[in-house]
Every structure is written in C-alpha cells, then in structure tokens.
C-alpha cells in the first residue's frame, strides 16, 4: 500500500540528506521558549506539533506516559547514534544548553501529556536496558502472531511497511522498535500493545522478544543491536555524517 510505505521512505531520505536544523544565528542559547525551541530544532523531523514527520510521534499521551522525563532528556542530550536523531547536548557537540533541553522536556509534558486510561493493563517498561532480555527465537513466533498480518513476512506483503527489511532495520534503534511496539502509531493505523489481537495483550517479555528478533534481522556485522543495549553505551560507535553540522 502506497500510503503505508511513506514513513519508511521518509526516514531513509532523512538519513541520507538532512542534518541538524539550525537555530537562529543570534544568541540562540538565550531562547527558552518551548515552541520556538521545538520548531527550530525538532519540527523538521518530528513535525511542528510533534505529531507528523519521519521521526517518532512525541505529541502522544501514551508515549509521554511511557517515557519518563529522564528518558527523554537523555535521548535529546545524547541523540541516538546510528539513527537520524542528533545529539543536542553541548557535551555531544550539540547546540542546546541543559536549560533549553529542560525547557523542551517541560513543554512536551505540560502541553502534550494527558492522563491515559490503561483499561486495567500494565504499562510495559520503556527502556531496553531495564526490560527483560529478549530471545530472538521466541520473538519470531511473537512477530508471526502480533505483527506479520500487517507488516508481512517473506513473500507475504502486509498493508504496512516491511519492518523486517534489513535496510530499514539498519536505520532504527532497538529502543525505537520497542517504543513503537508498545505505543503503536494509531494515526498511521497501528494499534498499541493492548489492541492488536482481541483479548491478547503483549507483555514485557513478548515485546523484548520481538525486538530481539527484529534486531537479529539487521545486516550481518551491523553493530547497532549491541550498541543500543542502553542509551549510554555507544562509546565505540561513531555518528554518521548526517548528524554533523556542515562546516563553513
């Protein structure tokens, strides 16, 4: 289906070309207004209101219930090496002060978070480092049960993008796969972890397993799976050129 393929293609385009959007030329560090910071630094990939664009949807109460302020601060500061998500913290060569990153996280929480009715289900763990370790063999069975009908397998094409494609998997982190497996993309037609099969809610272990299997489908020798075991353990991984500001 054409429409469903869009996000994948958009993400491929991003990693190929677009770098970090630039802030204003004058005194950019003085800006602490959330909307200005977000539109100058984030909107190109996450959409002006955090809902559209090739990057994950951030303006989503379920996502904001899942990820803590600390989780979000961490990824904004350090980025996701190996993906288009740039590091914004000074210590990582970025352009935003701690205060500005704090203002962005505050703004997302204040303007976009809402109480979420979990309907009796337990919210799974966000971070892959805290979640139970995944098992790829079990994960394949989970994929067949919970994902294949939309994302396809082998010669069977689903209505949604081929997330088992190694070229796609090379561009996304395990954390992104986990986040999406939990919160879904209801705006794109992907239900959250509770609502894919009637009466079947995926648990933490199921989600870890399916992520482990997807990670095992990355191109051979590709290191992201290991390096993404926590948001901080990427010391050996160099950032792709697309994350660098062009030198002038």
The residue among 7 and 134 lying less far from ligand HEC, judged by its C-beta, is 7
Residues 182, 192: Cα–Cα separation, whole Å: 6
Angle between helices 174-183 and 204-216 (to 10 degrees): 140
- Check residue 189 and give left, alpha or beta (phi > 0: left; psi -120 to 50: alpha): left
Q: How far is the CB of 135 from ligand HEC (least distance, A)?
A: 15
Q: What burial class does residue 115 get, using C-beta atoms within 10 Å of its C-beta: 0-12 exposed, 13-18 middle, 19+ buried? A: exposed
Write down the least CB distance from residue 114 to ligand HEC, Å.
Answer: 17
For residue 14, the minimal CB distance to ligand HEC (Å) is: 6
Query: Cα(118)–Cα(102) distance, rounded to whole angstroms?
Result: 28
Q: CB of residue 115 vs ligand HEC: minimum separation in angstroms?
A: 20
Closer to ligand HEC at the Cβ: 108 or 155?
108
State the minimum distance, in angstroms, from the CB of residue 248 to ligand HEC: 19
Nearest alpha carbon to residue 21 among 79, 76, 86: 86
Provide, rounded to whole angstroms, the least separation between the CB of residue 37 and ligand HEC: 7
Contact residues: ligand HEC, CB under 6 A: 4, 7-8, 11, 14, 18, 20-21, 41-42, 44-46, 55-56, 58, 67, 72, 75-76, 80, 83-86, 88, 104, 146-147, 149-151, 160-161, 163, 172-173, 175-177, 179-181, 185, 188-191, 196, 210
Q: Which is nearer to ligand HEC, 181 or 212 (CB)?
A: 181
Which residue number, 31 or 172, has a Cβ lying nearer to ligand HEC? 172
In the complex with ligand HEC, the residue whose CB is nearer, 17 or 115, is: 17
Closer to ligand HEC by CB, 27 or 107: give it. 107
């Amino acid at each position: 289906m054409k429409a469903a393929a869009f996000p994948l293609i958009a993400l491929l385009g991003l990693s190929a070309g677009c770098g970090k959007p630039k802030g204003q030329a004058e005194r950019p560090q003085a800006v602490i207004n959330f909307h200005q910071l977000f539109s100058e630094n984030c909107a190109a990939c996450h959409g002006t209101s955090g809902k559209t664009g090739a990057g994950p949807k951030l303006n989503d109460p379920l996502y904001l219930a899942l990820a803590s302020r600390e989780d979000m601060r961490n990824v904004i500061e350090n980025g996701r090496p190996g993906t288009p998500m740039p590091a914004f913290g000074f210590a990582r060569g970025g352009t935003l002060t701690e205060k500005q990153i704090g203002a962005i996280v505050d703004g997302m929480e204040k303007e976009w978070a809402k109480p979420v009715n979990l309907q009796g289900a337990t919210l799974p763990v966000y971070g892959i480092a805290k979640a139970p370790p995944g098992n790829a063999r079990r994960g394949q069975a989970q994929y067949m049960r919970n994902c294949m009908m939309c994302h396809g397998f082998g010669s069977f094409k689903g209505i949604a993008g081929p997330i088992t494609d190694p070229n796609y998997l090379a561009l996304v982190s395990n954390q992104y796969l986990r986040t999406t497996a939990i919160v879904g993309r209801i705006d794109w037609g992907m239900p959250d972890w509770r609502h894919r099969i009637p009466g079947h809610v995926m648990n933490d272990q199921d989600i870890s397993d399916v992520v482990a299997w997807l990670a095992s489908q990355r191109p051979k020798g590709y290191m992201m799976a290991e390096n993404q075991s926590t948001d901080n353990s990427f010391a050996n991984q160099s950032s792709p050129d697309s994350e660098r500001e062009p030198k002038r």
